[in-house]
Amino acid sequence: MRHCTVRTWFFAVLFALFGNACLLQAEALQTEALPAENLQATDLQVEELQKPQYPETIAVLQMLYGGEVRARYRYLEFAKVAKADGHDNIAYLFKAIAHSEAVHEKNFKRILETLGSKAAHVDLSSIKVSTTKENLKYATEVELSEIDTEYPRYIQRVGPEQHAESLKYINYAWEAERQHRALIKEIQGGTGMFFSMLLEHFRKEDSVYYVNQNCGATVTELPLEDCPICHEPLDTYTVVPAP
């Protein structure tokens, strides 16, 4: 009786192991037998999940980031030339604009990182610096171009994806560029035959520039209340050190 019980237990264990092995083999064969189109569909689903959620927004932010890095570098170089030529106030204007561009650069990089994208390396080797007169002319043309054409086009591109943070800070940058235009508006008519008069005017002006560290707003007088662009308190403004 005892031998019979042992044999029964032994065969039960053996059958259980054999059954599990057969089941696993059947599952493996079933997976191998999946139609090719099913496997392709699965691969496509994985690829779809790996795609960025805001592809157009990321593309625009990368372009804006690169533009701000180049602008910051260019205006700092312009400031060095103006300073070397003895045009301290023009150098100060260029430096203030560079500080504003640095705020936009920081904001766009931060948003890219929150979207899972690393800010691309920016090549600065193609940036050219000329005389203060030519640099002023370039600044005027670039600022007007950014305000009137580039930013509206960028906002139109990212609008459908409705990434609120990106839209907010792109608009902040656009508003700050409008302030830059106001600051250099008088330059537009002074880079030609009246350039010497323009320089004399800047020598007499003794401005102090303030840049908002949240939105890049650039002013020569602090607003009475909050920042008119981002509505942050006045302590978000810092004085730009004179060059």
Q: Retrieve residue 41's tokens.
A: 């569909």
Q: Is the pLDDT of residue 15 over 90?
A: no
- Phi then psi for residue 212, to 5 deg, are -75, 130
Nearest to 111 by CA among 50, 48, 78, 68: 68
Going from the N-terminus, what domains does the chain have, and what CATH number goes with each?
A: 54-207 (1.20.1260.10)
pLDDT average, residue stretch 120-136 = 92
Average confidence (pLDDT) over 95-124? 97
What integer pLDDT is reported at residue 205 of this predicted model? Answer: 64
Segment 179-188 shows an average pLDDT of 75
- Average pLDDT of the chain is 81
C-alpha angle 147/176/243, rounded to 5°?
115
Can you give the pLDDT at residue 25? 54
Would you call 72 exposed, middle or buried from its count of C-beta atoms within 10 A (0-12, 13-18, 19+)?
buried
pLDDT of 85 > 70? The answer is yes
pLDDT band at 174 (very low <50, low <70, confident <90, very high): very high
The first and second tokens of residue 61, run together, are: 């932010």
Q: Which residues of 55-70 are buried (b: 16+ CB within 10 A; e: fewer)?
A: ebbbebbbebbbbbbb
Query: What's residue 52's pLDDT?
Result: 72
For residue 219, the cross-strand partners are 210
pLDDT tier at 31 (50, 70, 90 boundaries)? very low
